[in-house]
Each structure stands twice: as structure tokens, then as C-alpha cells.
Amino acid sequence: MRIALGQFNAIVGDLTGNAEKMRDIYAKALDSDVDILVFPEMAICGYPPEDLLHKKHFLDDNQLTVEKLAADCPDKTLIVGFAGNYMGGNYNSAAVLQASGIVKVYNKALLPNTGVFDERRYFQSGTSPTIIKVSGLNIAITICADIWDIEWLAKFLKDAGEIQMILNISASPFHLGKIKKRQEVISQCAKKFNCAVAYCNLIGGQDELIFDGRSMFVDSTGQNIIKAKAFEEDLLIADITKTADGTVKVEPAQPTRPQPAEAIDEIYQALVLGTKDYTQKNGFKKVLLGLSGGIDSSVVAAIAVDALGSESVIGITMPTKFNSPETISDAEKLAENLDIEFMTIPIESTLQKFNDSLTSVPGWDDKGIAYENLQARIRGSILMSLSNQFGSLVLTTGNKSETAVGYATLYGDTAGGFALIKDVPKTLVYELAKYINKINNRQVIPTDVITRPPSAELKPDQKDSDSLPDYDLLDKILKGYVEQDKSAKQLIESGLPQEVVHRVIGMVDRNEYKRRMSPPGIKITPKAFGKDRRLPITNRYSSQ
């Protein structure tokens, strides 16, 4: 039996477009003479459709789209994920299409409701397995989380008879380290049931999430036979045959795909895909961003150029008297290196006027923090004005470390449409900068940008280190507090300095409101700000 995994980039809500893509992939699969063609979880409507699932007409359109796809693809068995709606219940479903019709529907049983997932908000659990027989093989259909609890799955399938293959359609989002865990789960599943596993994952960026693909075939010993491309569409084909001893053989029908070698490759590719998809799926032709000559905006610009092409990225520098000639020239140099449009809009005189109007207010301090932040707000207003005028998307450049501690001006440098490196800790921003220079075989990001001590340049001789701990230390504390939900006590016991731990935790807690009103960004860590971490703004609890 020949099986193809149609790992493609489904767009949320674009039912017609997704079905069209699937028809194109079907045509290709016919050429390769496959028996089954598999598409990811929710391939019809994209994932996650969120509260679109509360619209009856959306569910009806899902059903109609699956039916039409069945009619358009009559000659093979297709498995396709969609939002199912039967007798008043909603399900995360997989349709089995054969001979122009929907012959069976499997409903996902294990519904994740943690992290970024809200499936119990929308779906009821399916209660019975679906086994199909294709070319003499018994195939159990599962959806994503169904295989992540192997003991449960064994009970669920206990009356299913002999199975040669478990098919899993997924919309499994990327974060660093996820592929290792995913591979383990799939291998365990194969070994437990002594069968092949065919795993078909989505790819693409959807708001905060990146689906990384890497669909795969695993044999009954748990060995990975072939894995599809990461962060790209792919059609992965293998042959599965019963052997004399009753087990199955899994053979790739294609050459191996190159895989990301290191963590940094994965992160970089995730950021590129996320930027490309957020921009293009939302209909933007160009992006613009403020270039300060600092490392954050330099890395964001470089990623945007890789994602969208240099003709689609505009860099704007908006200096005041506090910006040094060195950083201004580095911004310009970066723009040259990236070959992007570059504009200088000095804001000193606007700042002066703005400040003049505020000096009428008793108590206004024209050297204080509000005055510093006013500069960021003027810049935010300029970028948003240009976005407004020209229809381009504003990329903000805040990293995870500063987003965590609120080292940012609300409605200033947080003003924009997409926060590309929101989940990238500052220490990793440095690694990315070096990586970008490495893969380009040249100093795209000027060395000075990487080596100069970071500064917001909002007052004379300012350094990040005046307000924040050293980034190495800060990122360690943030990992423990934000990603691992550790208490101050635990962090201090692990060897981190008491005073800094308390200070950082206080900053993180106090700045929830800023994060709530900031744009979405790309999740790359196990716990990102956004849907992944939902804390109240009004909150008197202290983890001290």
C-alpha cells in the first residue's frame, strides 16, 4: 500500500483556498499512484479556528467543503481533517473520503485544553475508534493528542483487532525541543502497537503559532523511516506492506529530506516562516520597522528580509539628540547590507514641540521617564502613521526579556502589528545575529551592533544595564519564573541571586498590562506570552 502525507500550509478560515490546495496535491498524488492521501488535522479550515467554531454557518461550510472535496477526488482514499458538527455536537474530525463520498468520520477523543490549546471550549470528545481497511491493511485513524497518552490509546483500541498502521493527523505547534518529544511519542506508539505509524502534521504560521510539519513514517520498531521537510510544504510518500511474519515493512518512496541541524536553525526558520505567513496571510505587501542601530531591530529586519524579500522591508530611523552617530550609522549600514529602503525621520523638533505642550502641566519633568518614553511614543506614532498611509505592517522589535520585565514603552515601541521576536530572549537574539552573519557568509549585521553594550538611547549615556540585570542572569531567572512557573524560593535555592530574583519577579508581575495590549508574536519556547500564559492583570499574588 502506498501512502502520501500531504503536509501543507492551510490558512485559517480559507475553506475554498485550502480545498483547492488539497485538490492540487491530490493531482500530484495520483501521479505517484498512491492508495491513500492524508491531510493534517483541520486541513479544511486551518488550525486553530478558535471562535469561528461558534458560528453555525462556519460548521456548515466545513461540511460542504469536505463533501465537495470528496466529489472532486473520487479515485483514492483521502483522510482529511475538518470541524465536524453532528446532532448538536461539534467535533474535531477526520473524514474518510472514497468514491466521491464521505464514508466514515473519526472524531478526536483526547482534546487538549492546556498551553495554547482550548479544544474543550469547542469540541465534544469522540468515543469510538475508526478503523479502515485499505489494500489489505487495517488502519486506525487518530488525531493529534490521541496518541500522546499511550496507555489511554491502548484501552481505546483494545477491541479494534489487529492493526497494521496507526495514522495520526496533527496540527502540532512548534517550540524548541518539541520535535524530540514528538518523535518519542510516535516511536513509542509504533512499538506499543507493533505497527507502522504515519504522522501528518500541518505547516504554516497562524498568529502566534508556527506549525513545523516534519510529518513522518515510523516502522513497528519505532524507527523513523523518513521525515518530511521542516517549515515547508511537502508530500511524503512511503510504501507499507505486510510481511510474512504478520508485521509490516515501511519503505520510503522518496529521497531523504534535509532537516534543521541545530536548535538555532529551527528557531531561525520558525521566525522566518512566522513572519512570512503573518504578513502575507493578512494581506500585507510590505513591512516597516524602526531601525535604531541596536541588535533587536537589526535581527528583526534581517529575518523580515529573508521572509519577504528586501523589496518588501522598509527601515526607518528616527533620531533625537540622544542617538549617537555610531548607532545611526549602524542602522544605515544594516539597511545597505540588507538592501532595503531606508528613511530618516528626525524627531527632535517634534519631541521639542510635544514637550513644550506638556510643560504647561504642573509637575511635568522634561528629563524624567515619561519624557524618555515620549520619544518611543513619537516613534510609534510615526510608524503607525506610515502604516496607515501606505498599508504596511509595522514590526515591533521587543525581545522576550524586555517584554517580560516591561522594559518597553506601552504604545511606544510596543506599537505595531506583529512582534516578531517577542518570544526570543535577549541572549538568543545575540545568537541569532551571529547566525544570520554566518549563514550569509558576511557581516549583514555590523559587528559593532553585536558588541556594543545595549542602550535604549532615550537619555544621555543610557545603558540597559542601568535598569536591568545582566542579560545572561536575567534570562536564567525568566526561564525559571515565566516558562517553568518556579517561585522566588526555588530560584534562589537553585543558586540565583536573591535580590535580583525578587526584583525581576516584581517587574514581570507588574507589567502584565503592557503585554496584554501588545501585538502577537511568534512562539518558539515551551511557554510564550499570549495564549500560552494567561495571567490576570488585576493580581495581588506575589511569587516572592
Residue number with CB closer to a second copy (146 or 207): 207
Contacts with 362 (C-beta within 8 Å, 6 or more apart), sequence order: none
Query: According to CB under 8 A, which one of 81, 454, 519, 521 is a site residue for a second copy?
Result: 519
Report the nearest approach of a second copy to the CB of residue 122 (Å): 9
Q: CA 468, CA 401: separation in Å to the nearest integer?
A: 10
Residue that the C-alpha cell 524548541 belongs to: 176
Which 407-426 positions form the footprint of a second copy (CB under 8 A)? 410-412, 415, 417
Total residues at interface with a second copy (CB under 8 A): 90
Residue number with CB closer to a second copy (13 or 252): 13
Cell of 430: 545575540
DSSP state, 229? P
The secondary structure of the chain in percent helix, strand, coil, rounded to multiples of 5, reads 40, 20, 40
Contact 78, 117 (CB under 8 A): no
Helix (H, G, I), strand (E, B) or coil at 487: coil
Contact 228, 5 (CB under 8 A): yes
Q: Measured at the alpha carbon of residue 118, what is the angle toward residues 114 and 121, in degrees to the nearest 5?
A: 130
The residue among 57, 55, 66, 60 whose CA lies nearest residue 16 is 66
Residue number with CB closer to a second copy (418 or 435): 418
| Per-residue mark of binding to a second copy, 317-346 (x: CB under 8 A) | --------------------------x-xx
Q: How many CB atoms lie within 10 A of CB 365?
A: 10
Check 76, 108, 227, 229 and give the catalytic one.
108
Report the nearest approach of a second copy to the CB of residue 493 (Å): 12
Binding region for a second copy (CB under 8 A) out of 153-161, 434-442, 449-457, 510-518: 510-518
Query: According to CB under 8 A, which one of 160, 370, 450, 492 is a site residue for a second copy?
Result: 370
**278 lines the binding site for a second copy (CB under 8 A):** yes
Query: According to CB under 8 A, which one of 86, 99, 285, 390 is a site residue for a second copy?
Result: 390
Contacts with 25 (C-beta within 8 Å, 6 or more apart), sequence order: 6, 8, 37, 39, 235
**349 lines the binding site for a second copy (CB under 8 A):** yes
Report the nearest approach of a second copy to the CB of residue 424 (Å): 20
Q: CA 305, CA 224: separation in Å to the nearest integer?
A: 34
Q: CA 484, CA 495: separation in Å to the nearest integer?
A: 16
**353 lines the binding site for a second copy (CB under 8 A):** yes
Binding region for a second copy (CB under 8 A) out of 246-254, 376-384, 398-406, 470-478: 376-384
- Is 476 a catalytic site residue? no
**277 lines the binding site for a second copy (CB under 8 A):** yes
Backbone φ and ψ for 97, nearest 5 degrees, come out as -105, 130
Residue number with CB closer to a second copy (87 or 541): 541
Contact 184, 147 (CB under 8 A): no
The residue among 250, 318, 266, 300 whose CA lies nearest residue 457 is 318
Contacts with 279 (C-beta within 8 Å, 6 or more apart), sequence order: 287, 307, 308, 312, 393, 418
| Per-residue mark of binding to a second copy, 470-509 (x: CB under 8 A) | ---------------x-x-xx-------------------
DSSP string, 428-448: HHHHHHHHHHHHTTS-SS-HH
Which 280-309 positions form the footprint of a second copy (CB under 8 A)? 281-282
**52 lines the binding site for a second copy (CB under 8 A):** yes
Query: According to CB under 8 A, which one of 6, 129, 380, 521 is a site residue for a second copy?
Result: 380
H or E, element range at 237: strand 234-242
Report the nearest approach of a second copy to the CB of residue 114 (Å): 6
Check 45, 73, 144, 189 and give the catalytic one.
144
Helix (H, G, I), strand (E, B) or coil at 544: coil
Residue type, 220: S
| Per-residue mark of binding to a second copy, 89-118 (x: CB under 8 A) | ------------------------xx---x
Binding region for a second copy (CB under 8 A) out of 101-109, 223-231, 277-285, 321-329: 277-285
Binding region for a second copy (CB under 8 A) out of 132-140, 176-184, 229-237, 349-357: 349-357
Query: According to CB under 8 A, which one of 49, 319, 398, 469 is a site residue for a second copy?
Result: 49
Please give the distance of CA 32 from its chain centroid, rounded to a whole number.
32
Report the nearest approach of a second copy to the CB of residue 211 (Å): 13
Q: CA 212, CA 173: separation in Å to the nearest integer?
A: 7
Residue that the C-alpha cell 522566518 belongs to: 272
Query: According to CB under 8 A, which one of 160, 239, 354, 448 is a site residue for a second copy?
Result: 354
- Is 41 a catalytic site residue? yes
Which 194-253 positions form the footprint of a second copy (CB under 8 A)? 205-207
Residue number with CB closer to a second copy (101 or 368): 368
258-to-28, 117, 191, 230 alpha-carbon distances in Å: 21, 30, 26, 8
- The DSSP bridge partners found for residue 287 are 313, 393
Query: According to CB under 8 A, which one of 4, 382, 405, 429 is a site residue for a second copy?
Result: 382
Contact 453, 464 (CB under 8 A): yes
Query: According to CB under 8 A, which one of 373, 399, 403, 427 is a site residue for a second copy?
Result: 373
Report the nearest approach of a second copy to the CB of residue 91 (Å): 16
Query: According to CB under 8 A, which one of 134, 347, 504, 524 is a site residue for a second copy?
Result: 347
Residue number with CB closer to a second copy (444 or 482): 482
**59 lines the binding site for a second copy (CB under 8 A):** no
Residues recognised as catalytic: 41, 108, 144
